[in-house]
Amino acid sequence: MKCLRIYISGVVQGVGMRYFIKTEASSMGLVGWVRNLDDGRVEIVVKGDREKLDEFLKICRRGSPFAQVEQVDVQEIDCRSFDFTESFEIKY
């Protein structure tokens, strides 16, 4: 298993991005969460196998239908740093 922290910037809030990310991640069997940040970015912490995460990153770079993704920053993180549930959630 591999864990990533992803920051997506551009027009990514108010365009259904969190719901889109949750739906895509859940359908791929990934676990973690997504949330909006005060600076206008979307933050994702996600756990899964490498192949699924590579595919998930392509989805993040594309974004939801109304999003305009400008930049995606990815950091590999220690999975032990977070308590993961068995699902993918939207944090408010």
Report phi then psi at 57, rounded to 5: -65, -35
What is the rounded distance in angstroms from the CA atom of residue 53 to the CA atom of residue 30?
Answer: 8
pLDDT at 19: 98
pLDDT at 82: 86
pLDDT at 22: 98
CATH of the structural domain 2-90, one choice from 3.40.50.970, 2.60.40.10, 3.30.70.100, 3.40.640.10 = 3.30.70.100
- The tens place of each residue's pLDDT in the chain, 92 residues long, gives 999 999 999 999 999 999 999 999 999 999 999 999 999 999 999 999 999 999 999 999 999 999 999 999 999 999 998 888 889 999 98
Residue of 36, 41, 50, 62 with catalytic role: 36
Report phi then psi at 61, rounded to 5: -70, -30
List the 42-48 sheet strands across, edge first: 68-77, 2-11, 42-48, 31-36, 88-90
35 included as an active-site residue? no
Residue 86, Cβ neighbours under 10 Å: how many?
A: 5
Q: What is the pTM of this model?
A: 0.96
18 included as an active-site residue? yes
Domain segments of the chain as ranges: 2-90
